[in-house]
A and B are shown apart, each in its own frame.
Chain A
Amino acid sequence: MDEEFNPKIIAFCCNWCSYAGADLAGVSRFQYPPNIRIIRVMCSGRVDLSFVIEALRQGADGVLVTGCHPNDCHYIDGNKSAALRAEFFTEFLEEIGIEPERFRLEWIAGSEGEKFARVINKMVEDVRALGPIRSDDK
């Protein structure tokens, strides 16, 4: 197994800020590795923890949840719910012995195409360094 480990990352993007940020990254031609699969939701608050668990169980090496910056949520404070769940979820991952770095919550505005690309680049790099989730962890 000399081949470089190519992680697969599932990213949930809220329609109003981070999905728009991802679009802007494209419009601006900011490049990032093709390891992510974006799932659009209306708000980061829509992301149910079971989605994250299911993604990891089915073979994702990392999960990224992105939303509007605090106080900029299109739905007043849906992102606050996302932040609370993320905190809980990070603890949960540690508890079950999965590196918490495999899960990440980031605030990305519609104007932050550059940040979107940066976050993806960093996350892919970090998860690549972690390697695959060990099967006894699953």
Chain B
Amino acid sequence: MAMPNAELKDNGGGTEPKIGVFVCHCGTNIGGVVDCEKVAKAASTIEGVAVSKDLKYACSDLGQDEIQKAIKEEGLNRIVVASCSPRLHEFTFRNCVEEAGLNPYFMIMVNLREQCSWVHMKEPEDATAKASDLIRMGVERSKLLSSLSPREVAVEPTCLVIGAGIAGIQAALDVAQKGFKTYLVEKEPSIGGHMAQLDKTFPTGDCAICILAPKMVEASRQKNLEILAYSEVVDIDGYVGNFNVKVRMKPRYVDEEKCVGCGVCTEKCPVKVPNEFDVGFGMRKAIYVPFPQAVPLKYTIDAENCRQLQGKKCGACAKACINDAIDYEQQPRDLDLKVGTIIIATGFDTYIPMKKGVYSYWESENVITAMELERLINAAGPTGGHLIRPSDKTEPKRIAFIQCVGSRNHKLGIQHCSRVCCMYAMKNAQIIKEHDPETDIAIYYNDIRAFGKGFEELYHRIRMDYGVEFIRGRPARLTTDPETGNITIRAEETLLAKITERDFDLVVLSVGLLPSQGTMPIQKMLSLPTSPDGFLQELHPKLRPIETAIDGVFICGCAQGPKDIPDSVAQAKATASEASTLMIRSKHVVEPLTASINDELCVGCGLCTDVCPYGAIELQDKDGQIKAVVTEALCHGCGTCAAACPQRAIDQLQFSNRQIMSEISAALSHEKAAGGE
């Protein structure tokens, strides 16, 4: 691949650095703690500083105009913007100076907000002194900046979507519809995800599978879209535009080409096991499709439970199949894909009360999770939508919902609100009431969060029209009567300031959403950061909600955090748009951060080749001498080689030895003066 070298030009045409320092108040965010005027004045005395100003909001139109005007009028050739984190606005200010005709890499940022005013709120004087120090560090470093040209890499016009719940399906459909080859990888035998398991959706009461199934079918028929179900991503390397992905297709023991989904095999299969799709309530055979609307509609043999595959004599399905599709010898198959962009839509797992004693989930049959309830009230579920309780298969007449199970619970270490539990509990209460208006329903809650479109209206309806009772308080204890299977909930009803005990026939735990098990291996493969709740972290919580720290990798749906179906779909569409934009441009600009080697100093020891995580450095014979050579396309710019080089023959663009040393010296200038170095 031909790639233009990052150019290391002169330091501004040999002219002396003429530095502009702009100190941002950020309203009161910085200005409320740091004396910005004083700091700007102090900076004006540093050698090389031609202009030093404080600005109310540097990033605003006015602020940027001011910077551009100073560049043009004063002939500034270095810009130091002392404001927020470079992780937030480096891009903004680089663009700003570039528009004024300066190479964008002549601008650097000094972090006065996240790393000064916000963390020293009660020490304005010390914070002001620190701000001055930080600016001095920036000014000294700015003198050593060079003009750089970013590298461009070609972007393979192919997208990989990992996870085929509603978010992944929507993202894949959108990308494919824009004309890009798209792979949709799903670990389960069918696409559809959790949404396929749900009965109805809040607040409108649409039947989940009725709106999802057409999308699944559309995905299977969409040109450019290849569904790789029952497959897992096992390896990813490469970089934006050029990811190499290994996908392992697990053996279905059924030839997908030959299977027409007629289902004769499943009729003949003698093995019955609980169906995971029904959360253990319904049964399936060892050869199965998880649910009737499965896409692809191809049967799968569950090797652990198949008699033939466990070495016993059977072969019933092979005998029954008229298309000769059964293949007991099938092996896992690896596919190597080259993709330019990756969308992660690996969804969530619901919280399962693992510890004994959590609301008697393991002790009482009649305490079930919300996902189990979804299957029990689902017309396509094991009971045909007829709600019965597990212990004696009778219709429960008194039902309690307990909210925030595995959410907002500091004891469990799960702080986050799962955002959907209030509404799904109301939705399920409504469905139960519609089936049998005589059922008494009580919802034990902490706070009701009915914040979305139509949510508050449902909350109102469910109380006023359906007579569902809302009890504010977290239950303290559940006791089960061994004779009847009924459950007594003891709780403090905080609105009444009373401790009550009430009897119920069935208790439903409104379990929260957690990062899915399937997300973890992908997160590790790409070294993606997670947020404190364990979900994948977006690049910026407000402004870059679906991008990640890795260029070309996007996140949507519950992989990013708990959210409902409309939000998942909206995010999915956003990722598709971002990924497509990148592929339409066909080129991506990569930060010039690469390592460069000074041949005169290099002695060819090879220490750098040992530490490089990417194998980007090789020893080569150069006119009879062994020298280290960097392959720029492979270099990611960590700088580990530069630190390892005993000859100091390696340097890193934007983080050169001299630049870092200049920051150290500037940070310690007072100490040096005091200590008489």
Contact = CB atoms under 8 A, between A and B. Distances in A.
Nearest to A72: B527
B655 A26 contact: no
B549 A46 contact: no
Interface in B99-156: 111, 113-116, 118-123, 126-127, 129-130, 133-134, 137
Interface of A: 8, 10, 15-17, 19-20, 22-27, 29-34, 37-43, 45-51, 54-55, 57-60, 68, 71-78, 81, 85, 109-112, 117, 135
Contacts of B46: none
B674 A38 contact: no
A55 B663 CA distance: 10
Given A22-B115, A34-B123, A60-B668, A73 B527 contact: yes
B524 A59 contact: no
Given A10-B667, A39-B664, A74 B640 contact: no
Q: List the 10 closest pairs (A to B, CB-CB), nearest first.
A: A59-B671, A26-B114, A45-B640, A46-B639, A75-B638, A43-B638, A76-B613, A26-B118, A37-B667, A23-B114
26 contacts: A8-B668, A16-B527, A16-B529, A16-B549, A26-B113, A26-B118, A29-B118, A33-B123, A34-B123, A34-B126, A37-B133, A39-B137, A46-B639, A46-B652, A49-B643, A57-B677, A59-B672, A60-B667, A60-B671, A73-B527, A73-B613, A75-B527, A77-B613, A78-B639, A109-B530, A111-B531
Interface in B74-88: 85-87
B639 A45 contact: yes
Nearest to B526: A74
Q: Which of A23, A51, A110, A117 has the most CB of B within 10 A?
A: A23
Contacts of A54: 661, 664-665
A114 to B, nearest CB: 8
A46 B664 contact: no
Contact of A22 (B114, B134, B614, B644): B114
Q: Which of A22, A45, A55 has the most CB of B within 10 A?
A: A45
Given A8-B667, A26-B113, A55-B664, A78 B613 contact: yes
B636 interface: yes
Contacts of A17: 529
Interface residues of B, number: 56
A58 B640 contact: no
Contacts of B665: 54, 58
B637 A42 contact: yes
Interface of B: 85-87, 111, 113-116, 118-123, 126-127, 129-130, 133-134, 137, 524, 527, 529-532, 537, 549, 593, 611, 613-614, 636-640, 642-644, 652, 655, 657, 660-661, 663-665, 667-668, 671-672, 674-675, 677
A31 B636 CA distance: 34
Contacts of A30: 119
A59 B661 contact: no
Contact of A34 (B120, B638, B660, B674): B120
B667 A51 contact: no
B655 A46 contact: yes
B85 A42 contact: no
Contacts of A46: 638-640, 642-643, 652, 655
Contacts of A51: 660-661, 664
Contacts of A37: 130, 133-134, 137, 667
Contacts of B675: 59, 135
B639 A111 contact: no
A63 B524 CA distance: 29
A54 B677 CA distance: 12
Given A43-B640, A71-B524, A111 B130 contact: no
B115 A45 contact: no
B119 A117 contact: yes
B529 A41 contact: no
A68 B638 CA distance: 12
A138 to B, nearest CB: 8
Contacts of B113: 26
Contacts of A45: 611, 638-640, 643
B674 A59 contact: yes
A48 B616 CA distance: 19
Contacts of A59: 668, 671-672, 674-675, 677
A42 B655 contact: yes
A111 B121 contact: no
Contacts of B667: 8, 10, 37, 39, 60
Contact of A19 (B87, B133, B671): B87
Contacts of B672: 58-59
A117 B119 CA distance: 9
Contact of A58 (B126, B529, B668): B668
Contacts of B657: 48, 50
Contacts of A58: 664-665, 668, 671-672, 677
Nearest to B663: A39
A43 B613 CA distance: 12
B115 A26 contact: yes
Given A78-B613, A78-B638, A110-B537, A41 B655 contact: yes
Given A32-B119, A59-B674, A77-B613, A41 B531 contact: no
A111 B529 CA distance: 8
Given A22-B115, A31-B121, 18 more contacts: A19-B87, A20-B87, A33-B126, A34-B126, A34-B130, A39-B663, A41-B639, A42-B655, A43-B638, A48-B642, A48-B657, A57-B677, A60-B664, A60-B668, A75-B640, A109-B529, A111-B530, A111-B531
B254 to A, nearest CB: 37
A8 B537 CA distance: 33
A97 to B, nearest CB: 18
